[in-house]
C-alpha cells in the first residue's frame, strides 16, 4: 500500500513540475509579447512624432516662402 502512495506521489510531482514549467514558459512568452507590443507602440509613436515634426517644419518652411514672395 505504501508503494502505491509513493508511486502516485512521484507521478503527481512530475506532473506538478511539468505544469510549473508550462506556466513559466507561458509567462515568459506573454512577457516577451508584451515587451514586443510595447516596443512596437513606442516605435509607431516615435515615427508618428517624427512625421508630425517633419510636417510642421515643412508647413513652417512653406509659410516662410510665401511671406518672402510678395
Q: Does this model's pTM top 0.85? A: no
Segment 39-52, tens digit of pLDDT: 999 999 999 999 99
Cell output for 40: 512596437
Q: In the predicted model, what is the mean pLDDT of residues 25-37? A: 95
Distance CA 39, CA 42 (A): 5
Amino acid at each position: 500500500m505504501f508503494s502505491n502512495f509513493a508511486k502516485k506521489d512521484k507521478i503527481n510531482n512530475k506532473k506538478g513540475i511539468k505544469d510549473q514549467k508550462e506556466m513559466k514558459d507561458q509567462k515568459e512568452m506573454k512577457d516577451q509579447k508584451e515587451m514586443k507590443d510595447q516596443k512596437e507602440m513606442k516605435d509607431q509613436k516615435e515615427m508618428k512624432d517624427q512625421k508630425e515634426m517633419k510636417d510642421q517644419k515643412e508647413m513652417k518652411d512653406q509659410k516662410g516662402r510665401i511671406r518672402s514672395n510678395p
